[in-house]
Amino acid sequence: MAYCLVWEDQFNIDGKPNPSIWNIETGGHGFGNNEDQYYTANAKNIFVKDGLLNVVAYKEDYENRHYTSAKLTTQDKKIISYGKIEVMAKLPEGKGTWPAIWLLGQNMKQVGWPMCGEIDMVEHVGKNPNHFHFSLHAKDYNFHKNNQPTFVYQEDHMIEDFHEYSMVWDEKAISFFIDKKPMVRFEKGLKKTKAEWPYDDPFYLILNLAIGGWWGGEIDDKIFPVSMLIKYVKIYERRD
C-alpha cells in the first residue's frame, strides 16, 4: 500500500503551535471524565521550543481547578479520513498523568459523543506505567458499556524514551503500531450502522495531557511540572 504525505508539523518554529493547524482548547469542566486539570492557552502550558511541542502540566490553582495543562485539536482545520497517522512522542511519567493521542469525529458538535466516534491512538495512565492502551469508542461500543474494542501493550522502560505511535485506517479496519511494530487491528466486520462503526466519516486529531480523573486516579503532587513532548505529527493519504 502506498501513502502520500498530505500535511505535517515538525515543530521547527519556536513559540505558539502553528495556528493554521492547531486549536488550543481551554476549560476546566472535567471533559466527561472528572479530570482535575484546567486546560489553558498560557505559554508555559503549551509552547514549541528547539524542535519540540511541549505540553506541560503544573500544580497550581487556576479558576476552579488545582492543576493546569494543555490540549490541542485540529478540529475544523485539518480533517482526516482514512490513511496513516504518525506521532513521535515522549509521554510523561508520574501517578496522576493521563496523556493521550486520539481522534474524534468531525461531527462531534452535531451528534455528540459517543455517536461521533473516538479513536484512541495511544493512552497511558501514570498509575500503571509502561502499559499503552489502544481503543475505539462508538455509540454501541464504549467504556460506559465496558464493551469497546481495546488492547493493552506492556513493555518495561518504554515511557523513558521517544516512540512513534501510529495508526493505519481504511474502509475495513483500524490498526495501531508502536515504532512500526503492530499492536492490534480492529476490523469493521459486520458492523454496518454508524452507531456500531462511525469510522467511515472524517475525524480530527487531539493531543492532550489530562491530570487525574476517574481513570487517571490519585495524583502525586511531587511530579510537577510534568511534560508530554512531541517531535512530529505526519498525516498521509492512501494512494491506490
Grid cell in block for residue 80: 482526516
Residue type, 171: E
- CB distance 5 to 236 below 8 Å: yes
Of the candidates 98, 83, 100, 71, the one whose C-alpha atom is nearest the C-alpha of residue 8 is: 83
Is 171 considered catalytic here?
A: no
Residue type, 4: C
User: 24: helix, coil or strand?
Assistant: strand
Is 123 considered catalytic here?
A: yes
DSSP code per residue over 101-151: EEEEETTHHHH-TTTT-EEEEEE--TTSTTEEEEEEE-SSSSTTTT---EE
Burial of 143 (0-12, 13-18, 19+ CB in 10 A): middle
* Phi, psi angle pair for 114, to nearest 5°: -95, 5
Looking at 93, 118, 160, 218, which residue is catalytic? 118
Pairing of strands 37-39, 65-69: parallel
- CB distance 199 to 174 below 8 Å: yes
Looking at 123, 160, 164, 171, which residue is catalytic? 123
Q: Which residues are known catalytic residues?
A: 118, 123
